[in-house]
Amino acid sequence: MLKNLQKRNKIESERGFKPSVDILSRITKVLLENNSTGKTNLSLQTNVNYVRVLKHLKWLEKRNLIESVVEDDKIVIILTESGRKFALTLTDIS
């Protein structure tokens, strides 16, 4: 019963997540400049709490704007082609 409640709360919180344009802009700017970076490094470079960065990365990944790849035995984040277009649009707006 407790697991079902936790699962339902998790689903509801994911549905209700609304990303910050400012944070999306910071994340995509770093990815444009560095081509790839790890999640922790991304959090540090954007000056955004790690958990918030993860939520925004999940949002971007669901929309196929980023992907996780293995580079030198590390998992890094890169922009997809559509993610690059999205990032360039965001930087024009900001």
pLDDT tens digits, one per residue of 34-75: 999 999 999 999 999 999 999 999 999 999 999 999 999 999
Average pLDDT, the chain: 88
**15 domain-assigned:** no
**What span, in angstroms and rounded, lies between the C-alpha atoms of 62 and 32?**
19
**80 domain-assigned:** yes
pLDDT band at 16 (very low <50, low <70, confident <90, very high): confident
Whether this model's pTM surpasses 0.85 = no
**4 domain-assigned:** no
What is the count of structural domains for the chain? 1
Contact 76, 31 (CB under 8 A): no
**12 domain-assigned:** no
Residues 6+ apart with CB under 8 A from 25: 90, 91, 93, 94
Domain span holding position 80: 20-93
**53 domain-assigned:** yes
CA angle 26, 30, 33 (to 5 degrees): 140
